A and B are shown apart, each in its own frame.
Chain A
Amino acid sequence: MNEEKEVTEEEQPLVLQKLQDKFGDALLASTEIRQGVAVVVNKENSYALLEYLKTDLAYSYLVDVTAVDNSKLESELMQYDYARFMVVYHLYTYEGETSRIRVKVPVHEKDLKIPSVIELWKGANWLERETYDMFGIEFEGHPDLRRILMPDDFEGHPLRKDYPLRGRGERESFNFEKQNV
């Protein structure tokens, strides 16, 4: 169900307890969701937390990496110090009860960098490329960070909220010659 209730000490899942013990203040928020937990962690500790989840808690399957542009969602902006973007990881484990975990990392617009997790999951490669393509978030340590869905010479990041749905005229007047076909 959708109701995300505040977790009290006694009934919270073991995974969450472990994370709280290890990361303490770095966890900015935590809630229970269907079949798992959701945590918000600051950027400095994001890699360490994901590494801990992968190696020690057996979250071996990276379901998804994406981002949300919170620039029109006032409540989220206020809560996380006006960080415009929220990078969202979904993880899954084949063992244990808390099968799913969602890790969110706020990223400020003036410092659009976040460590890449490609060392932990090979599947992160294209997901990070897509997030870079669509939002312009740079993943540090990514070996091949270039556009994936849009053409190489495309300018802008389409899934940002300030990008118009119908584009900026690129679909009527694009350059045939520049394309690498």
Chain B
Amino acid sequence: MQGGMERTTGEKMVLNFGPQHPATHGTLRIVLELDGESVVKATPHCGYLHTGFEKLGEHLDYNQYIVVTDRMNYLSPLSNNFGYVLAVEQLLGIEVPERCQYIRVLMAELSRLADHLLWLGTAALDLGAFSVFLYSFREREKLYSIFEKTTGARLTTSYTRVGGVFRDLYDGFENDARDFITNFPKALKETHTLLTRNRIWMDRTKGVGAISSDDAINYGLTGPCLRATGVAHDLRKAEPYSSYEKFDFDVPVGTNGDSYDRYLVRMEEMIQSCRIIRQALDNLPDGPFSLEDNKVMMPDKSDAYGHIEGLIHHFKIVMDGHGVQPPKGEDYCATESPNGELGFYIVSDGSGTGYRIRIRPPSFFHFQALPHMLEGGMVSDTVAVLGSLNVIAGELDR
């Protein structure tokens, strides 16, 4: 660079960013055209993690597919499980018992915390704040242990079933969860002291990657990225599902739609999730934890191994041509996943496998809008903007 402040040279340079780069969180790729240090044109490429989820949906039955949804947004698998079974249940026209709805809300909010925590850790890591990464993983490990005790797995949970969840909450769940939400705001405060008024953090994120609310809607942005622009749209409020209308929580919004606002919105959402979890624990209803309709829901394992009726039910549900068979038709069902609107559009031909399963991932739209936020900015902002969007390659490419 010549002349100190001179940023542009008139000569263009092409920089290939990714698909293997620490800040791309997996497999994203952006081709940047640079003039000096400013970005003239950014072309995102995707598909490096294309796995054929939608095709697989046409070959697996409805309960088998839950396993596949785990691996879509791997930061918060429980939200995916939840969104998917909700779509199938709506196609079937069934509603699960209230306790089950509460359990699902609990798990969805816990996984929202886990998702935002990992986002926080990696976004801060990308901008050089390594301690935040360690702090957020410390909290995430506590969540992992709750997930593991509930579902049997740290990451790939497959907790929900069509018609319920596969087992009830464990005995000490309430204690563990209360313990977590009591201590979590304190831990979050540590991050606030490290980042929120930190001069470097503010310089790197304030005004960086800003998008107006009109543009955000036009690009199809949802979730925290949309709310950071000032649109108070949350599907949990707009189209309440699974008893969300019974919870009292706020929808945080930003004003500028820049990386800093996205950070603040996500931080506040974590506090609101804690509120929802506390209410759900206080009012957790008794009763069955899943539908007791044996045509849809798998019988309990002890039942399947111990009684002939249970065994027959189990057999009928797992066999081809039996089990979960929604009537002919189609449905689109959207839930508010940590990243935004996660939609499942399922077309059923009346058989045990979906005819077409379309997943509407939030990250796809966020990554698409990236050039809009990058162009005209500096090359070093690329990392800050990409980090603030939380693009998950698994759901981006499916």
Chain A positions within 8 Å of B, measured between CB atoms, are 1-4, 33-35, 60-64, 66, 68-69, 72-73, 75, 88, 90, 94, 99-100, 102, 121-123, 125-127, 134, 147-151, 158-159, 163, 165
The residue in chain B whose Cβ has the minimal distance to the Cβ of A100 is: B332
B219 near A99: Cβ-Cβ < 8 Å:
no
Q: Is the contact region of chain A dominated by helix, strand, or loop, or is it mixed?
A: loop
Given contacts A2-B92, A90-B360, A125-B368, contact A99 B217 (CB under 8 A): no
Q: List residues of chain B with CB within 8 A of the CB of A68.
A: 347, 355-356
The residue in chain B whose Cβ has the minimal distance to the Cβ of A3 is: B93
Given contacts A2-B90, A3-B93, contact A158 B52 (CB under 8 A): yes
21 contacts between A and B (CB under 8 A): A2-B91, A4-B329, A63-B220, A63-B341, A63-B343, A64-B345, A66-B358, A68-B356, A72-B349, A94-B231, A121-B218, A121-B220, A122-B219, A122-B369, A123-B218, A148-B47, A149-B47, A149-B398, A158-B52, A158-B55, A165-B58
Neighbour of A34 across the interface among B46, B50, B58, B331, CB < 8 A: B331
Measured CB to CB, the closest approach of chain B to A20, in angstroms, equals 21
Neighbour of A64 across the interface among B331, B358, B368, CB < 8 A: B358
Complex Cα distance, B92 from A21, in Å, reads: 33
Q: List residues of chain A with CB within 8 A of the CB of B185.
A: none
Measured CB to CB, the closest approach of chain B to A175, in angstroms, equals 17
- The tally of CB-CB contacts under 8 A between chains A and B is 99
B331 near A33: Cβ-Cβ < 8 Å:
yes
Q: List residues of chain B with CB within 8 A of the CB of A90.
A: 332, 343, 345, 360
Given contacts A64-B360, A123-B220, contact A2 B332 (CB under 8 A): no
Q: List residues of chain B with CB within 8 A of the CB of A125.
A: 368
Chain B positions within 8 Å of A, measured between CB atoms, are 46-47, 50, 52, 54-56, 58-59, 90-93, 215, 217-220, 231, 233, 238-239, 326-329, 331-332, 334, 341, 343, 345, 347, 349, 355-356, 358, 360, 364-365, 368-369, 372, 397-398
Q: List residues of chain B with CB within 8 A of the CB of A99.
A: 238-239
Complex Cα distance, B55 from A67, in Å, reads: 13
Sample of 10 more A-B contacts, CB < 8 Å, known A64-B358, A149-B397: A2-B91, A2-B329, A63-B343, A64-B360, A68-B356, A72-B355, A90-B332, A122-B219, A149-B47, A165-B56
Complex Cα distance, B46 from A35, in Å, reads: 33
The residue in chain B whose Cβ has the minimal distance to the Cβ of A160 is: B55
Measured CB to CB, the closest approach of chain A to B113, in angstroms, equals 26
The residue in chain A whose Cβ has the minimal distance to the Cβ of B93 is: A2
Q: List residues of chain B with CB within 8 A of the CB of A62.
A: 220
B50 near A149: Cβ-Cβ < 8 Å:
yes
Measured CB to CB, the closest approach of chain B to A135, in angstroms, equals 11
A2 near B331: Cβ-Cβ < 8 Å:
yes
Neighbour of B364 across the interface among A121, A126, A159, A165, CB < 8 A: A126
Instruction: Find the residue from B218, B233, B329 having the highest chain A CB count within 10 A.
Output: B218
A60 near B55: Cβ-Cβ < 8 Å:
no
A88 near B219: Cβ-Cβ < 8 Å:
no
A75 near B332: Cβ-Cβ < 8 Å:
no
Q: List residues of chain B with CB within 8 A of the CB of A122.
A: 215, 218-219, 369, 372
A123 near B368: Cβ-Cβ < 8 Å:
yes
Q: List residues of chain B with CB within 8 A of the CB of A75.
A: 328
Instruction: Find the residue from A3, A63, A72, A165 having the highest chain B CB count within 10 A.
Output: A63
Measured CB to CB, the closest approach of chain B to A116, in angstroms, equals 15
B239 near A35: Cβ-Cβ < 8 Å:
yes
Measured CB to CB, the closest approach of chain B to A3, in angstroms, equals 7
